[in-house]
A = this chain, B = another copy of it.
Amino acid sequence: MITLRDIKAARERVGKIAIRTPLLPLKFGPADTYVKCENLQRGGAFKCRGAANKILSLSPKVRARGVVAYSSGNHAQAVALCAQQLGIPACIVMLDQSVAHKVEGTKSYGAEVVLGGTSSEAIRKRAEEIAAERGYTVVPPFNDELIMAGQGTVGLEILEDLPDVKAVVVQIGGGGLSSGVATAIKESKPRVKVFGVEPEGAAKMHASLAKGELVTLAGTDTIADGLKPVRAGELTFAQVRKYVDEVVLVSDEEMLEATRRLILKEKLVVEPSGAASLAAILAGKLKLPKGKVCAVLSGGNADLAAILEGKFAGTATGTVQPSSR
């Protein structure tokens, strides 16, 4: 289990790569609703916090050999960004069906991209092979204490910028962000509520909590490509079980509605995964306490044309791809 101490220790390393993102009041949202803008983070998502903490915890010698990551999206860009900043080699193994703008984004940071198969399992194995062949270190996407502690720095900043916050709402992909944030919040201020949010079509943590053990989904079906793992991690599950008060589910349409509202009204570009937290608030899914509420906007690497043209709507075919591609 990670603790508040791990998260505080991550801060200095995270600060070498990540910026302190703004925490803003919603202009058009319900009263007392704030957003933590990780969509404005370097790399376009919170992910560089965990990656920075992991990579900067390696010995200089090990670090210099290089890093390899397996990811369908934002984690890939974050590891590529960190490697570029630190001047070390990076290889990113992505899904064959990865969204094109995320592949391009990763390459733009100078990383080598390998398309390693069609499943999370396949790309993980390919990454481990590459690590063994080249002496690179694997930077896992979420199930790693240094990654979780790095993401948890989002929680520390929320408490500093909004000391009287009463509830924090955070989306759950593999659980790295949610477990880190929940730990930061609950070990600092146990009375602040922490809500987790998953897509209806990728409810791996919700199912695991209900069963009391880690569940692997048969598949996922959601536009939120950042929240699509079929299985949370052992470490993130334990942490979320301990600290997250409740996990609720949102539909694709609810995420899209929140996404459009953030882009058109609040002038913040987010991706549907990044708007899941606000979607849960807007759709009335949460029993919120009175007072200030903060939703984490986890990422902004959106396919804007698809979102604005509503091309996501009506697609529901297993692994959903924007129809504009």
Interfacial residues, chain A to chain B (CB-CB below 8 A):
19, 22, 24-25, 27, 37, 39-40, 42-44, 263-264, 266-270, 300, 304-305, 308
Please give the count of copies of this chain that the complex contains: 2
Residues from chain B with a CB closer than 8 A to the CB of A39 are 267
Contact of A24 among B19, B27, B263, B269 (CB under 8 A): B19
A267 in contact with B300 (CB, 8 Å): yes
The SS class assigned to the A binding surface is mixed
Report the bound CA distance from A264 to B267 in whole Å.
Answer: 12
Q: Which 7 residue pairs are nearest across A and B when measured between Cβ atoms? A: A22-B22, A267-B300, A267-B269, A39-B267, A27-B42, A40-B267, A305-B308
CB distance from A44 to the nearest CB of B (A): 6
Given A44-B267, A264-B304, 5 other A-B residues pairs in contact with their CB atoms under 8 A: A22-B37, A267-B268, A267-B270, A304-B304, A304-B308
CA distance A25 to B40 in the complex (A): 10
Q: CA–CA, A304 to B304, complex, Å?
A: 9
Interface centre among A24, A42, A267, A304 (most CB of B within 10 A): A267
- The interface centre, meaning the residue of A40, A42, A44, A300 with most chain B CB atoms within 10 A of its CB, is A40
Is A40's CB under 8 angstroms from B268's CB? Answer: yes
Q: Is the pair A263, B268 in contact by a Cβ cutoff of 8 Å?
A: no
Q: How far is the CA of A149 from the CA of B43 in the complex (A)?
A: 37
22 A–B contacts, CB within 8 A, in A order: A19-B24, A19-B25, A22-B22, A22-B37, A22-B40, A27-B42, A27-B43, A27-B44, A40-B266, A40-B267, A40-B268, A44-B267, A263-B269, A264-B304, A267-B268, A267-B270, A267-B300, A268-B269, A269-B269, A304-B304, A304-B308, A308-B308
* Residues in B whose Cβ lies below 8 Å from that of A22: 22, 24, 37, 40
A271 to B302, CA, bound (A): 19
What are the residues of chain B within 8 A of A43 when measuring CB–CB? Answer: 27
In the complex, what residues of B have CB within 8 A of residue A305's CB? 308
CB distance from A309 to the nearest CB of B (A): 8
Considering the complex, give the chain B residue whose CB is closest to the CB of A25: B19
Separation of A263 and B262 alpha carbons in the complex (Å): 13
